Amino acid sequence: MTRTILRARVFTFIEEPQGIDDTASYRYLEDGAVTIENGKIIAVGDYSPADAAGAEVIDHRPSLIMPGLIDLHLHYVQMQVIGSYAPALLDWLHAYTFVEEQKFGQQGHAAAIATSFFDELIRNGTTTAVAYCSVHPESVDAFFTEAARRNMLMVGGKVMMDRNAPEALLDTAQTGYDDAKALIARWQGKGRAHYAISPRFAITSTPAQLEASRALVAEFPECYVQTHLSENDAEIAYSMELYPEAKDYLGIYEDYGLLGRKTLLGHSIHLSHREAHVMAETGSVAVFCPTSNLFLGSGLFDYERLHKTGVRIGIATDIGGGTSVSMLRTLDEGFKVAQLRKQQLSPLNSFYLATLGNARGLGLEDRIGSIAPGRDADLVVLDSSAISHMALRMQTISGVAQELFLLQTMGDDRSVREVYIAGEAAKTRLA
């Protein structure tokens, strides 16, 4: 059996940081060793030549090894939508997104985009993502087939939408249910695949479709649920017109039994006091999508208020409303959103969100999101000096928290030296 030791500086969270000075929240090894066997981490500690005997040692010094980055919300079918000019969400959806998603009904398109999508994830150090596919079941097959080929832990599902979109993108309450059920049978729990029941949002689902979603959740409690919540003023107003009985936007999903610890609510920007409390009580996850929220002018996520209320929080790119596949770019924009709200979002808290925090959001913290014995060996190797201007700035940096802040402020795919997926090098093997 081959044993591999990755030698590098090692950084991983143990707990959620209480702020920039919380050195107890993480483990940092100046000359560390991550030992991998059969795709799993079996030991982490200071590097010792005696322990290395008989192992293959890969020396990544002076780079930093961290857990692979996790993206809690994106649309892989929108890879060719990024950077489309529009005033706001609903115009953007109709002018570009719904047009592009129709192409996933064409033979071969989903497989081609899935290949490019996974290449980009790996280039950027993202080892797990939660994805919306298109309405077409073939787009889900292409997604999980490509993920399996690369042995990546991925969450995804077929978007369900039965109104307020072009005819070619609509399913019905019944066909959406049948297709999702067949896809769950085909993919849920196969290898590293996890299925997400994905009614797009209240505007594009009739009450009958949300009822069908409720039935799926009851039948398949092991699956995730993902949808969009309170992203944009016009979206909120229209949702309330369509569901006049609901207490508020979250109340729509609540009325159909769609909240819980496996529910991921993209955006969650404009929430009332009641909505924040119901999210906290149900354990539903608010997913912060900073590049998208700024790009579409949707609003400023209220991290501090939701955190204080006890809402579980994750962070994501929201490709293609989001403007970068890079979680480093995403953390940078997240910091700026907090700045505009006069809130403190320290680099420790940002990197926590992108690793252990998002893993906890998925309830998969026993498998991913940290570097510890027993975890899957999904790792990213970051070089804070790979970009020339960053190398210059690194000369004045002291301490790992400052270095993380520089990585999120100036870093991108160039900062990602290597990515390990279940112990196998993936980035340097890209074509």
Applying CB under 6 A, the residues found at the interface with ligand GUN are 75, 89, 93, 97, 200-201, 228, 231, 292, 318, 321
E strand or H helix that includes residue 62: strand 56-67
E strand or H helix that includes residue 222: none
CB of 266 to Zn ion, least distance (A): 5
Query: 3-class SS at 301?
Result: coil
- Smaller CB separation from ligand GUN, 291 or 355: 291
- Smaller CB separation from ligand GUN, 205 or 326: 205
Contacted entry of Zn ion, ligand GUN, none for residue 97, CB cut-off 5 to 8 Å set by kind: ligand GUN
CB of 26 to ligand GUN, least distance (A): 32
Asked if 114 contacts 146 with a C-beta cutoff of 8 angstroms, the reply is: yes
Contacted entry of Zn ion, ligand GUN, none for residue 292, CB cut-off 5 to 8 Å set by kind: ligand GUN
Of the candidates 266, 322, 369, 411, which one interacts with Zn ion according to CB under 5 A? 266
- Smaller CB separation from ligand GUN, 97 or 102: 97
Q: 133: which DSSP letter?
A: -
CB of 235 to Zn ion, least distance (A): 12
- Smaller CB separation from ligand GUN, 63 or 239: 239
296: how many CB neighbours lie within 10 A of its CB? 24
Contacted entry of Zn ion, ligand GUN, none for residue 200, CB cut-off 5 to 8 Å set by kind: ligand GUN
- Smaller CB separation from ligand GUN, 201 or 405: 201
Query: 3-class SS at 310?
Result: coil
Query: Interface with Zn ion includes 156 (CB under 5 A)?
Result: no
- What are the percentages of helix, strand and coil residues in the chain, rounded to 5? 40, 25, 35
Query: 3-class SS at 158?
Result: coil
What are the strands of the beta sheet with 40-46, ordered from one edge?
40-46, 26-37, 3-13, 56-67, 379-382, 416-421, 424-425
Near Zn ion by CB under 5 A, which window of 138-146, 258-266, 297-305, 327-335?
Answer: 258-266
Query: 3-class SS at 416?
Result: strand
- Smaller CB separation from Zn ion, 9 or 75: 75
* Amino acid letter, 75: H
Burial 159-173 (b: 16+ CB within 10 A, else e): bbbbebbeeebbbeb
Print the binding letters for residues 282-321 with Zn ion: x by CB under 5 A, - otherwise: ------------------------------------x---
Residue nearest to ligand GUN (CB): 321
Binding site for Zn ion (CB under 5 A): 266, 318
